[in-house]
């Protein structure tokens, strides 16, 4: 596992630094697709091109304020992820809460960056998240796993498992999916991988793999799905330098 993406990343690393404008255009392309797909998975109806113009500061008629905010907020959350990577900071609950606060800014300020205080359920899933009074304990367990076991894993496995464990806890009222995908890419980007895009057309496989991980503790399907998306992002970069 991971041999192909390791080989492709080695080729990419050997070609670094990439030309400035090539790198800028790759970043803009991936971050647009990341923002569009992560919001589309959650039901945002803005198209890829509509997402692009919202990021450019233009309002799209017929779309809700929430849908616009989801795009702008995700852009700001990506910027925060980049800052963490640049500063080489270790993952913390403070960062997770900050990310979530950015995701829900102006959408639900009462719960932005705050753990939930009530039970929630995940539509279509067999898994039921833990009771709200267990969240602090579950998040502490997740951070202990990350610091003691996760930190030694391949970044694709570590990021995938962090994503799955986090979204299984479902610590926030809303915005857990977007936050979990930001955490996945945070781990990949720390190790020099380009960000991945969990595509909306793969939503069913994505949800099924997550539910399997949560109900059986078998993460292989979800890790494989993430590995495929990592390869797609690497292929995009390699195509640009070939």
pLDDT values of the chain reduced to their tens digit, one per residue, 242 residues? 799 999 999 999 999 999 999 999 999 999 999 999 999 999 999 999 999 999 999 999 999 999 999 999 999 999 999 999 999 999 999 999 999 999 999 999 999 999 999 999 988 889 999 999 999 999 999 999 999 999 999 999 999 999 999 999 999 999 999 999 999 999 999 999 999 999 999 999 999 999 999 999 999 999 999 999 999 999 999 999 88
Tally the domains of the chain. Answer: 1
Q: What is the DSSP letter of 148?
A: H
CATH code assigned at 42: 1.10.3290.10
Q: Model pTM?
A: 0.97
Question: Rounded distance, CA 149 to CA 27, Å?
Answer: 31
Q: Is 170 tagged catalytic?
A: yes
Torsion sign over Cα 159, 162, 168, 170: negative
**Could you give the C-alpha distances from 106 to 44, 68, 175, 180, in angstroms and in order?**
16, 11, 13, 20
73, two tokens: 């907020």
109, two tokens: 């300020």
Print the SS3 string covering 8-62: HHHHHHHHCCCCHHHHHHHHHHHHHHHHHHHHHHCCCCCCHHHHHHHHCCCCCCC
184 close to 158: Cβ distance less than 8 angstroms: no
Domain span at 213: 3-241
Q: Give CA 26 to chain center in angstroms.
A: 18
Catalytic residue, from 68, 100, 163, 170: name it.
170
């Amino acid at each position: 596992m991971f041999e192909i993406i390791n080989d492709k990343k080695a080729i990419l690393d050997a070609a670094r630094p990439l030309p400035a404008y090539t790198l800028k255009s790759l970043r803009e392309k991936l971050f647009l697709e990341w923002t569009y797909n992560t919001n589309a998975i959650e039901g945002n109806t803005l198209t890829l091109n509509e997402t692009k113009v919202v990021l450019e500061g233009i309002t799209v008629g017929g779309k809700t304020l929430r849908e616009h905010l989801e795009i702008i907020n995700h852009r700001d959350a990506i910027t925060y992820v980049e800052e963490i990577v640049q500063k080489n900071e270790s993952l913390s609950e403070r960062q997770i809460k900050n990310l979530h606060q950015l995701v829900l800014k102006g959408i639900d300020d009462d719960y932005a960056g705050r753990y939930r205080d009530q039970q929630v359920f995940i539509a279509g899933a067999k898994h039921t998240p833990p009771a709200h009074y267990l969240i602090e304990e579950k998040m502490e367990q997740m951070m202990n796993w990350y610091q003691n076991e996760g930190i030694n894993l391949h970044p694709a496995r570590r990021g995938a498992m962090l994503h799955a464990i986090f979204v299984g806890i479902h610590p926030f009222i809303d915005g857990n999916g977007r936050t979990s995908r930001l955490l996945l890419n945070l781990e990949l980007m720390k190790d020099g991988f380009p960000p991945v895009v969990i595509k909306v057309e793969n939503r069913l496989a994505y949800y099924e793999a997550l539910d399997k991980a949560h109900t059986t503790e078998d993460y292989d399907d979800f890790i494989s799905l993430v590995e495929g998306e990592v390869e797609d992002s690497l292929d995009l970069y390699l195509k640009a330098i070939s």
